[in-house]
Amino acid sequence: MWRSIALALLMLTGFGAAAEAQSNKLVVVELFTSQGCSSCPPADAFLHELAARKDVLALGLHVDYWDYIGWKDTFGHTAFSERQRAYAKVGSRRSVYTPQMIVNGQQHVVGNHPKEVNALVKTHQAAPALVMVDVARKGAKLSINARAEGGGEAAVLLVRYMPKGVAQIRRGENAGKDITYANIVTEITILQIWDMAKPLSASARVSGEDSAAILVQRRGHGPILAAARAD
């Protein structure tokens, strides 16, 4: 009898932990945008809505390949253009574009199509969580712990971003506009490549005022398996 009760309690505890992890699951939405792109402001505005959600980690990655048409993006970075091109290569797409949203490192959607993006977020939110990641921050130190159901290799990424930034655009397609951007990515660093057959225990140091998050992404710009804010 006691064994049956103990087993039942164990099952309830496990299901409860799984349910809690599922409810706290973050879906990562990356917006590839540019201050020199006339089609981007609606997507930039939509990113503000996504950034306000607790179940979404919205990230704005400013690319630099439109700089030649008259305005150099003040938040742009070659590394983010390269990340977008890597996604295109993995997805067998011949070209990149702005505004483009990538949901959990998998599907791509035009960034000013909120209904499609929200539907994908809902689908990913309902999918089973195959990786659990926990991040604790104490001062400048991050402690990262994770476990996975299954093997393979994943990149553990540290993402730094500014929650808000304003650009006064004076030339190019958006000349004369002052645009406020959300969750502007300033840096993406690979902390390590994780063998997911084993539990992960790692640490990292952060400095400055930028916010931080941890992404666990299957190696080679594959699916994002888990994410956690480092508040």
* pLDDT at site 24: 64
CA count, 13 A, side-chain hemisphere, 95 = 4
Residue 65 has pLDDT above 70, yes or no: yes
10-14, 92-96, 144-148, 168-172: least confidently modelled range: 10-14
Q: What average pLDDT score do residues 78-102 get?
A: 97
Residue 21: which pLDDT band, with cuts at 50, 70 and 90? Answer: very low
**What pLDDT is stored for residue 231 in this prediction?**
82
Question: Where do the domains of the chain lie?
Answer: 2-229
Taking residues 7-29, report their average pLDDT.
Answer: 53
What pTM does this model have? 0.90
Is the model's pLDDT at 10 over the cut of 90? no
